[in-house]
Amino acid sequence: MSSFFSRRAFLSGVGGVSLLAAGTALSACSSSSSTTSSASGPAKVNFQLGWLANVENMGLFMADHAGYFRDEQLDVTLTPGGPSVVVEPLVISGKALVGLDSVDTIAKARNEGAALKIVAATMQVNPTAIMSLSSAPVNTLKDLVGKRLGVQQSGVEIMNTVFKANGIDPADVTFVPVQFDPSPLVAGDCDAFMSMLANQPIQLELQGVQTKAFTLDQYGYNVWADVLLVSEQTLADKAKREQVVKIVRATARGWQDALKDTDAAAKLVVEKYGKSLNLDLKAQQKTAAAFRSVIETKDAKANGLLTMSAEGIAANIATLTSLGVKATAEELFDTSILSEVYAGKNRL
C-alpha cells in the first residue's frame, strides 16, 4: 500500500526538483510514445501505476488477467511505480498514455504548467487516517486535543489544515515526529498515529495489536487518490481519446471483479503480478478488503466505480483551496470519458 501523503512530499520537491522541470527533461530526452498502433493487432499502450504491484492496483491486474484490455483491442503494459517514480512527467512526455496519482499532486503539476486532466477516480475516500490503540481509543478529531499525535513530516501541513478547518488550534495537540513504522504508538511514545487505513492498522493487527482508526474525509480532507490522469493533448487526439475510453471501461470492469472477491484478487496479485515482491498473502488479503470502503463508496455504488460526482469534485476543490493549491473543477477534471463508459448505467 502506498503512502499518499509521503508520496506527495516526494513529488512536491523534497529533492528540489519541480514536476514541470522533471517533465521538461523527460520530454527532451524521450522519443518513445505511450501508444503504438499496429494494423495486425491491438494498440500497445503504457499505463503508469503510482505505486508497486500490490493490491492497491488489484483492479487493473484483474482487468488484465480477465482479458478486458484485450476485449478493447488494447495491449496494455501496467508499469509499476514506486518511491522514485514521478508519474506526471511520464504522462506529459508521452511515455505513458494514462497514469495514477492523487488529486493534489496533479493540481500542483497543473499550476507548474503541466496540461493534465483527471478522467476517473479510484479511491474516493482518501485513506489517510488517525490510528490509536483499542485499549486507549481516540475516536474523533477533538479527542486529540491535549494528546500526542505521531505525524510524519509530510503530514504536518495536512494535520494543521484539518485542525484549523475544524476549529482546533494545532498548538493544543503535541506533534511527535515519526516515520511510517507504527512502533512509537505501541511503545507509548504517542497517543495516536497518522496512518493509512489499509496499511499500519493491518500491520499491527497481524502482530496481534488491536487498533481503531478514522479517516480524515469526515473532517473535510477530501483528496481523491489513485485517480486516472491523462494529458490534454491526448484528449484532443480522437484516436488516443478513444483509447482512454477503452482503458477506463476495462479498468472499471476489473475493479468490479476485484471488489466482488478481494481474497481472490489478492491471491492473483501475490502469485502473479507482484510475485517478485514476495508479498504476504494474508496481509494482502486484509489490505484488499480494507480498500473496499474507500473505493466502493455511496457515490460509486449509485453511479459506477471510478465515477466522479459534481459534489465530490467540489469537495476536492475545497480541500485544495484550504491547502493553498489553486484549482478549478473545469481545469482539473473531465467527466466526459466516464459518461461514455457508463452511458447512463452504474455497472458494466
Confidence of residue 163 (pLDDT cuts 50, 70, 90): very high
Strand residue runs (E) in the chain? 35-36, 43-48, 74-79, 98-101, 116-123, 128-133, 148-151, 174-177, 192-196, 211-215, 225-231
Q: Give 134's DSSP letter.
A: T
The dihedral sign for the CA sequence 268, 274, 276, 282: negative
CA–CA dist 312, 308 (Å, integer): 6
Is the pLDDT assigned to residue 1 strictly greater than 50? no
Rounded Cα distance, 206 and 192, in Å: 19
Q: Which of 236, 234, 239, 183 is nearest to 211 (CA)?
A: 183
Question: pLDDT digit string (tens) for 310-337?
Answer: 999 999 999 999 999 999 999 999 999 9
Helix axes 281-295, 238-260, angle to 10 degrees: 120
Query: DSSP letter at 325?
Result: -
Least confident of 30-44, 119-133, 149-163: 30-44
Evaluate if residue 38 carries a pLDDT over 90. Answer: no
**62 SS3 class:** helix
Q: Count CB atoms within 10 A of the CB of residue 140.
A: 13
Q: Which residues contact 57 (CB under 8 A, 6 or more apart)?
A: 49, 51, 78, 100, 269, 273
Give the pLDDT of residue 40.
65
Reading the block at residue 337, the C-alpha cell is 470519458
pLDDT band at 16 (very low <50, low <70, confident <90, very high): very low
Query: Do 35 and 243 form a contact (C-beta atoms < 8 A)?
Result: yes
Long-range contact list for 230-236, CB < 8 A, 24+ apart? 230/91, 230/97, 230/98, 230/99, 230/116, 230/117, 230/119, 231/91, 231/92, 231/94, 231/115, 231/116, 231/117, 232/115, 232/116, 232/117, 233/115, 234/34, 234/97, 235/117, 235/119, 235/334
Quote the CA–CA distance of 51 and 198 in Å, as a whole number.
14
Res 74 pLDDT > 60: yes
Using CA atoms, how far apart are residues 281 and 50, in angstroms rounded to an integer?
21
Segment 84-93 mean pLDDT: 97
- What is the average pLDDT value for the chain, to the nearest integer? 91
Residue 214 has a CB neighbour count (10 Å cut-off) of: 19
In percent, how much of the chain has pLDDT > 70?
Answer: 89
What CA dihedral angle connects 325, 337, 294 and 184, to 10 degrees?
Answer: -40
**Residue showing cell 496519482:** 101
Strand partners for 225: 123
Tally of CA atoms within 13 A in the half-sphere of 131 that contains its CB: 27
**What residue ranges define each of the domains in the chain, with the CATH number in brackets?**
4-125+223-342 (3.40.190.10), 128-219 (3.40.190.10)
